[in-house]
Structure formats: C-alpha cells, structure tokens
Structure 1
Amino acid sequence: MHRILFVCLGNICRSTMAQSVMQYLVDEAGRADEFVIDSAGTSSEESGNPPHRGTAEKLRREHISLVAHHARRVRAAEYDKWGLIVYMDEDNEWALMRLFNNDPEHKCAKLLSFIPEDSSFRPRAHLHDGTVRDVADPWWTGNFDDAYRDVRAGCEALLATL
C-alpha cells in the first residue's frame, strides 16, 4: 500500500490540487486500491477552509474531481503514518525537516524531483545547478495553469516510479 501525503503551506492550493490529481491518476490506472492519498499544510492559517476557488476551477476545467477536503496542518505524529511525504517548495522542506526531526527515514521529497533530469518537460524541473525547482505557487501569482502543469507532471512522474 502506497501512503502519500502532499504538503504545501496552507493546504488550499497546490497540495489539495496534487491530492486530487494523484487520486484521478491512480483511479484512471485502475490502481486506487493500492493508494491512500491525503494533503496537509505546514501552516495552520487556512485550517478548516475549503480548497481555493482557483484550484477548484482549474481542476473542473481539466475534468478532474476535487477531493472533499478542508485545510489542515500536518502534525509530527503523522510521520510514521505516511510512506512518502511530498512537498511543493523549499519553505515546505524547511518546515518538514524541523517537524520531522530531519526526516530520519528519508520519506520527504519535492514533487518535481520525480521528473527525470532528461525529461522533455518544460520548464525544466531540474535547474542548471542540479537543484529541483519549486512547484509554481498560485497563491502569489494567481496562475493556476502553471501550478497545474507542475502538479500534473510531478504526479505522473511519481506514479510512474511506483
């Protein structure tokens, strides 16, 4: 059983989008019974709120069902519950390393790190210095198309590795 937790800052844009996209992909692949998928945020400021309307609208345009979800903050006690904790950006990584005592079992990974370096995906996931770029954050830009592009590519690559 693959147990995946997607994480972003507030749990209303990117991580909820990733949860919905990944659920869609595993359902389409006929592999839903192999997965438990959820999402959370590193901050509690959006706790209890539904997904951002931009996330809901983008997924609707892509014919992907938005999972029933209300934002919540990830807790330290959850570390043992998940086989993989997938985060969206470096700030999320920093918060998760603090929360999970530097990730002793190496369960945490940036979503775009699953895209192979030699992929034709544009814009490139891997930067020239070897680092992996962050998933575009629509909270600041309002651009849910770029966030979806990154999330979809990352989730497809993740599913391919599983």
Structure 2
Amino acid sequence: MTRILFICHGNICRSTMAEFVMKDLVRKSGRENDFFIDSKATSTEEIGNPPHPGTVRKMHQVGIPMNPHRASQMKKSDYEDFDLILGMDSWNIRNILKITGGDSEGKVHMLLDYTNHPRDIADPWYTHNFDETYNDVLEGCEALLNAL
C-alpha cells in the first residue's frame, strides 16, 4: 500500500482538496486498496478547523465526496509513516523539510512535479480562485496516479 500525504499551509484549502480529489480518482480507478491518502498543514493557524467553504463548494460542484475533516499539523514522525509527502508550493516544501529535518529518502515533492509543467499551486485563501486551484490539483493528482 502506498501512503500519500498532501501538505499545504493550513490544511483547509489545497491539501484538503488534493486529498479528496486523489481519493475520488483512486476509487474510480478501482485501486482504493492500493493507497492510504491523508492531508495536513505545516502551520498551526487552522488546526481543528473544517475545510474552507470555497473548497467544500468546489468539491460539491464537481461531485467529489468529502469525509469529515479537521485541519491537523504535520509531525516529524509523518516522514516515516508516509511514502510520498506532496507539498503544494515551494514554501510548503521548505516548511516540510524544516519539520522532517530533511528528505534523506526522496519522499518530498511538489504535487505538480508529476506533470509536464511543474509549478506552485496558488493558495485560494489569497487568490479566492478555487476553480484554478482545483484545475491544478486535478492535473497533479491525475499525473501522480498515472506515475504510480
């Protein structure tokens, strides 16, 4: 079983979206038993909070189910517990590496590194553009699933 952890700043927008998009893609591909998928934050700012209403609205709009979710922070031990740790932008990657103390096993990547156009996924907390974020997350998750 491949264990995947999606990471963003607060775990209420991008990483949460990626978690549920990936779970949906995996379910539709009939590979649910091949993966364990979760998401967390690098910061403590949103710990315990539900997904951002914009994320919930977008997931509902595209028909992707969401399980109950509360933001939680990544721990150093997550490095050992997960096979892949995927940040949404370069700032997330820097913070992930601070939390883990490095990436000796090559587990840490940006989600869009799996696409033909590696780049940061913009934070809709600031842009208010959940459509663009969803499109980037979907592109990354589809490419990731194809790579796995």
Give the TM-score normalised by structure 2: 0.98
- Give the equivalent residue in structure 2 for 1:106: 106
- Give the equivalent residue in structure 2 for 1:141: 127
Q: Which runs of 4+ in 1 moved over 3 A?
A: none
- Give the equivalent residue in structure 2 for 1:152: 138
Unaligned runs of 5+ in 1: 117-124, 126-131
| Cα pair 1:19 1:67 within 8 Å, conserved | no
| Cα pair 1:79 1:100 within 8 Å, conserved | yes
| Count of aligned positions | 148
- Give the equivalent residue in structure 2 for 1:69: 69
- Give the equivalent residue in structure 1 for 2:60: 60
Alignment RMSD, CA only? 0.7
Unaligned runs of 5+ in 2: none
Taking the aligned partners of 2:51 and 2:39, their CA distance within structure 1 comes to 11
Q: How far did residue 67 of structure 1 move?
A: 2.8
Taking the aligned partners of 2:8 and 2:66, their CA distance within structure 1 comes to 17
Give the TM-score normalised by structure 1: 0.89
Taking the aligned partners of 1:94 and 1:84, their CA distance within structure 2 comes to 16
The C-alpha deviation readout for 1:118-153, integer Å capped at 9, x for no partner, is xxxxxxx2xxxxxx3101210001100000000000
Taking the aligned partners of 2:103 and 2:67, their CA distance within structure 1 comes to 27
